[in-house]
Structure 1
Amino acid sequence: MIQYKSIATALVLTLGTFTAFAQGQKTANWFFGKGAGLVFKDGSVTPVTNSRLQTEEGSATISDKDGNLLFYTNGITVWNRHHRVMPNGNGLMGMKSSTQSALIIPKPATDSVFYIFTTDIQAQSNGLRYSVVNMTKDEGNGAVTARNVFLIAPATEKLTAIRHSNNRDWWVIAHRWNSNAYMAYLVSAEGVSAEPVFSNAGTVHGGAHRKAIGYLVPSPDGTRLAAALWDSDSNFEVLRFDRSTGVVSEPILLRGFEEAYGVCFSPDGKLLYGTANGKGGGKAQIIQFDLQAGDEDAIAKSAVVVGTSGSPRIGALQLGPDGRMYVARQDNIHLGVISKPNLKGTDSEYVDTGLHLAGRKSDLGLPNFPQGITPATGRTTSNR
């Protein structure tokens, strides 16, 4: 049984988790790794084995408001709700070994059109692009109606999105290669902006191409970003994000975490989790930082290892609609699970074999979801 400090605390956390789940149905279906899949429904999670997707790292899925699957992708192929390749659904220019190879964004002011943004592997020439899915095609099962519209190259493997402050549009955020520039592309009812908002903030992402690896994620309220900068001498980076202007600022660098890869904020936005694997792998750890500890030095000193893994490498961290945090274990039939991600230290309760995948295997990635995909996200999990 969960031990709470008070009945009031228990009530707040229970209601918060229920509200987030009740209105988080667009993230109800997950497809990732080597044919692995999960369905979240009524506060529980069930592994499924009908996925056609094979990916080493990135993937993206989207469901409707009732939790019914619409489509999913590894950044190369798009499968519909029946797990069949969509018309024109091959040949997207993401890569299955790109950290965040794909991201699905609904087009504002329509229920039937979606954008799939893709990133190439290790800052290669395909760069950042987008394709368009129209769900009215193929008898309501969807078809890709435009492919691989070019935005910029080279770019890193980082790709996320945050709801605009108008709660209608989106900012799609990536990072330029050999630069310290974050790029925020406005997505509105008029389409995808050709020119991004550039913000020169934080460290230069450049050098050896493998340094393009690592996740970029938003806080639940969309006011912060966190990045994992993969290398043998690598770091986590936390920044502020302005949902009105798309500007990234106030970088905080958390140094010295070899092969940093995954990163995720707690549901209440007060804690940051990251995965690191040691040089060459073999030292897989989950590190937690207290973002309310004080200045940059105090946040860095708050680092505590909350879990270790039997896998040589662990990868993505992702919050589920059930309020738990899931951890990708490379080539493993289990996901790790952090049951209480709002709690500090080992009270967060990491279990390395937390969820069995019904014989399918995880790899380094989990589905890439934008912040604000449901209206409830900011209300139920914002840091106040």
Structure 2
Amino acid sequence: MIRFKHLAAAFILCCAAIVAQAQGEQKNWYFGKGAGITFTGDSAVAVTNGRLNTEEGSASISDKNGNLLFYTNGITVWNRNHKVMPNGNGLLGGNSSTQSALILPKPGSEAIYYIFTTDIQAQSDGLRYSILDMSKDNGNGDIVFKNTFMIAPATEKLTAVRHKNGKDWWVIAHRWNSNAYMSFLVSEEGVATEPVLSNVGTVHGGANRKAIGYLKPSPDGTKLAAALWNDNSNFELLKFDRSTGKVSDPILFKGFSEAYGIAFSPDGSKLYGTTNNKGTGKGQIIQFDLRAGTPDAITKSATIVATSGSPTLGSLQLGPDGRIYVARRDNLYLGVIYKPNAKGKAVQYKDNGFRLAGRKSDLGLPNFAQDVKR
């Protein structure tokens, strides 16, 4: 029995080490008004060496050991030394696009990365990608192809999930004035020119500002959730097939003013969304219990788990430490959900949960792919 306990403990520690290593790519965050965080184990430390300044979207990536590689606001790319890369200006994202950028390593390559970008509010530049080669400029990286067109118009929603084969990726976006989710396969051959289309759920269209709002996958990659921003807006929950790229079985949660950020709990049992309540002038965090049962039961499980001192809340982002960080517009602090797997107020939210060392948050936090293994 003692030996079994020791083996079990060793197994748990081994799993923890594997998880930590797998999350090395997400160790360094750059966002907002010169703000940044570096994660080490269970600790998070504010850093002030970043050059990025953005109202909304950003993306950053590190190597598997947690060493910073580069970061971007969808317009400019900075290298690990916080200098603009060669050819690192002029990407066609927007610093006021919700998910202005997303970074993916090319399957089968140690040096090539893709930077996908979205234009603001469904404008004509749409969804595009650029190619970065980390072997250039003495290992600091260089943009070698820029702004390859994919599709337009598209919303500001942009995410990615690892393919079921454990090697390729699905880049997922949404067509504008349509109910079509678009899944582009990214493989050793490159980026597919034609997406897998799934005409499901609500039409994302109307006034261009309705293109605002996040799209996020669940930790296991089998679900997607979208925030459809508007004065009287909605959250959308859907299933995702990692083998085919198809999106299906939408559930709509109606009537949430200015729905914007969205995130799943680490165990996938809870869904969180940020709203801005015009009646109270305060930002709020809504929790949905995805294990409540039927779609109607999940809808009725909606609970306000936190009300912020800030009038405007933005992005929700799950950190490598298992906590969910909350962007507060023009604020010296991020909010923190300490126990996101818990139900209701047991989540332990703190509004001034993480001090940014004198830098400020805005609406966005870094956009990351969901790197699900087989």
**Match in the other structure for 1:5:** none
Amino acid at match of 1:337: V
Question: 1:283 Cα shift?
Answer: 2.6
Aligned length: 366
**Partner secondary structure for residue 149 of structure 2:** strand
Amino acid at match of 1:295: T
**Match in the other structure for 1:118:** 117
Instruction: Label 1:242 to 1:34 Cα distance change in 2 as closer, same or farther (>3 A).
Output: same
Instruction: Label 1:281 to 1:145 Cα distance change in 2 as closer, same or farther (>3 A).
Output: farther
Q: In the alignment, does 2:184 pair up with 1:201? A: no
**Match in the other structure for 1:309:** 308
Q: In the alignment, does 2:166 pair up with 1:172? A: no
Cα separation, 2, equivalents of 1:187 and 1:328: 30
Question: 1:296 Cα shift?
Answer: 1.5
List aligned pairs for 1:224-243, cutoff 5 A: 224-243=223-242
Cα separation, 2, equivalents of 1:13 and 1:334: 33
List aligned pairs for 1:359-378, cutoff 5 A: 359-372=358-371, 377=372
Cα separation, 1, equivalents of 2:109 and 2:54: 30
Cα separation, 1, equivalents of 2:41 and 2:249: 39
Cα separation, 2, equivalents of 1:378 and 1:340: 24
**Match in the other structure for 2:212:** 213
Cα separation, 2, equivalents of 1:190 and 1:119: 23
Amino acid at match of 1:34: K
Q: Deviations over 1:116-175 (max 9, x none)?
A: 000000000000000000000000000000000000000000000000000100000000
Amino acid at match of 1:213: I
RMSD, aligned α-carbons: 1.8
**Match in the other structure for 1:152:** 151
**Match in the other structure for 2:103:** 104
Instruction: Label 1:77 to 1:134 Cα distance change in 2 as closer, same or farther (>3 A).
Output: same
Amino acid at match of 1:274: G
Cα separation, 2, equivalents of 1:322 and 1:135: 28
Q: In the alignment, does 2:122 pair up with 1:128? A: no
Question: 1:16 Cα shift?
Answer: 7.1
Q: Deviations over 1:53-108 (max 9, x none)?
A: 00000000000011000000000000000000000000000000000000000000
**Match in the other structure for 1:61:** 60
**Match in the other structure for 2:263:** 264
**Partner secondary structure for residue 211 of structure 1:** helix
Counterpart contact for 1:271–1:289, Cα < 8 Å: yes
Overall identity of the aligned pairs, in %: 68
Instruction: Give the structure-1-normalised TM-score.
Output: 0.93
Counterpart contact for 1:182–1:248, Cα < 8 Å: yes
Amino acid at match of 2:36: G
* Unaligned stretches of 5+ residues in structure 1: 1-10, 380-384
**Match in the other structure for 2:74:** 75
Question: 1:27 Cα shift?
Answer: 0.2
Instruction: Give the structure-2-normalised TM-score.
Output: 0.95
**Match in the other structure for 1:143:** 142
Counterpart contact for 1:122–1:157, Cα < 8 Å: yes
Question: 1:43 Cα shift?
Answer: 2.0
* Unaligned stretches of 5+ residues in structure 2: 1-9
Counterpart contact for 2:164–2:373, Cα < 8 Å: no
Counterpart contact for 1:20–1:323, Cα < 8 Å: no
Counterpart contact for 1:21–1:323, Cα < 8 Å: no
Cα separation, 2, equivalents of 1:291 and 1:319: 17
Counterpart contact for 2:228–2:234, Cα < 8 Å: yes
**Partner secondary structure for residue 297 of structure 1:** helix
Question: 1:20 Cα shift?
Answer: 3.1
Counterpart contact for 1:220–1:378, Cα < 8 Å: no
Cα separation, 1, equivalents of 2:15 and 2:51: 34
